Amino acid sequence: MPATYLLTVHTDFAAAHTLRDYPGDCSRLHGHNWKLEAQVRATALNDVGMAIDFKAIKSVAREVAGELDHRYLNELPPFTTVNPTAENIAAYIYRQMSARLDTDTARVSAVTLWETDRACVRYSEDT
Ligand SMILES: Nc1nc2c(c(=O)[nH]1)N=C([C@H](O)[C@H](O)COP(=O)(O)OP(=O)(O)OP(=O)(O)O)CN2
Ligand SMILES: [Zn+2]
């Protein structure tokens, strides 16, 4: 079995949303300080001994988070049609990060998105 390296970085963003069709107060405009944890799974090291530079992962995580920062999520594609739940936002961030980061030997394996200090969702497409 090949060696596996799991690398994790954190970043955050502030954004507002309303949950469509939600039977409660979250259907009203409100905001969160979202905390994002991104995990990359790698199977090889480079000559420096790094699977992938933490700086590279943080750069992509911050780039994607930055596109959501201080925005009303319901106005941004895909959330004009997809409800901006924590689940859907985590999946969106995962796919955006994967598209920008994945290589033959390192790929995004999970995104954990904290909506509050007490609730988070972890999204993965790993089997
Ligand atoms: N599975 C999900 N459940 C909820 C989501 C979600 O995205 N996925 N979102 C919300 C709302 O966005 C809401 O803002 C969060 O509410 P809640 O977790 O209840 O947070 P509170 O701090 O208001 O509640 P406490 O009970 O004080 O922890 C709701 N659910
Ligand atoms: Zn909310």
Residues 56-92 have pLDDT tens digits of 999 999 999 999 999 999 999 999 999 999 999 999 9
CATH number at residue 108: 3.30.479.10
pLDDT recorded at residue 127: 63
Residues 32-51 have pLDDT tens digits of 999 999 999 999 999 999 99
Q: Which domain holds residue 95?
A: 5-123
- Number of domains within the chain: 1
DSSP state of 75: G
Are 104 and 95 spatial neighbours (Cβ–Cβ below 8 Å)?
no
User: How far, in Å, is the centroid of ligand 2 from the Cα of 58?
Assistant: 25
Residue 10 annotated as part of some ligand binding site:
no
Catalytic positions: 26, 70, 115
Q: What ipTM describes this predicted complex?
A: 0.92
Residues 96-125 have pLDDT tens digits of 999 999 999 999 999 999 999 999 999 999
Nearest CA, atom 22, ligand 1: 116
User: How far, in Å, is the centroid of ligand 2 from the Cα of 7?
Assistant: 28
pLDDT recorded at residue 103: 96
